[in-house]
Amino acid sequence: MENFKAGETVVRRDVHRSGRVWSEQALRVIADSTEALVAACAPGAQALWPSLYAKARADSDRTVRTEAFDAMATGEWELAPGVWQETELLLWKPPVAWFSINAFYTAAGLRNWYVNFEHPARRTDDGFDTFDLTVDLVIDPDLSTHMWKDEDEYAHVRRLGIVTDTEHQAVDLARAQVLAMLEERAGPFADADRWAAWRWDPAWPAPCLPQRE
């Protein structure tokens, strides 16, 4: 499959092992190479989210997120349209890694780095498929400190069987890999200053999801 071109719109999909789509996010390609696909979005970018997850965001109620995971375990969920809000996002997704490295920006600049542990990318005609494995790593803008996020939800999805033992082992390996990258200033961390200076071009329209029949 050919590389995506800079400026092209791609779709990141989270796909459950059942084959059902859990979420979709429209992104704009910044660069695509053998090292990683780099893509971005800004407020207004179109998305599809589970309706319970959207409710949790709207109500700032994390207990509803637990309900969303319970729905995932039963295979009974509905998707609701949404839009990306508040921050600009830059995403670095290596082709075979069990993670993506993301940077979030506000008007003040780089807010934080955010490592999302997820399935390796499976390229599609209009983007790539993955699956979010819940646990995350939040890193300060200067790379000096970090903390794990959503360990409680990760334990919950493990109990539900959403994350299998094999996936759990892959996540453990990926955690160690990311911490080594951080310590060695490898991957995007090698160009941390350049990433910190990146901003969404206001001339770019917010990316939209493709129209499907």
Residue 44 region by backbone torsions, left for phi larger than 0, else alpha for psi between -120 and 50, else beta: left
Averaged pLDDT of the chain: 92
- The pLDDT tens digits of the residues spanning 142-189 come to 999 999 999 999 999 999 999 999 999 999 999 999 999 999 999 999
15, 79, 98, 156 from 160: Cα distances, Å: 17, 21, 20, 6
**What pLDDT sits at residue 59?**
66
Closest Cα to residue 53, out of 38, 40, 70? Answer: 70
Q: How confident is the model over 62-87, as a mean pLDDT?
A: 86
Beta-sheet pairing, 122-124 with 127-130: antiparallel
Closest Cα to residue 65, out of 159, 148, 134, 140? Answer: 134
Give the type of residue at 33.
S
The pTM (predicted TM-score) of the whole model is 0.93
Q: How confident is the model over 48-55, as a mean pLDDT?
A: 82
Q: Tell me how far the alpha carbon of residue 84 is from its chain's centroid.
A: 12
- The pLDDT tens digits of the residues spanning 94-141 come to 989 999 999 999 999 999 999 999 999 999 999 999 999 999 999 999
Bridge partner residues of 26 (DSSP): 11
pLDDT exceeds cutoff 80 at 52: no
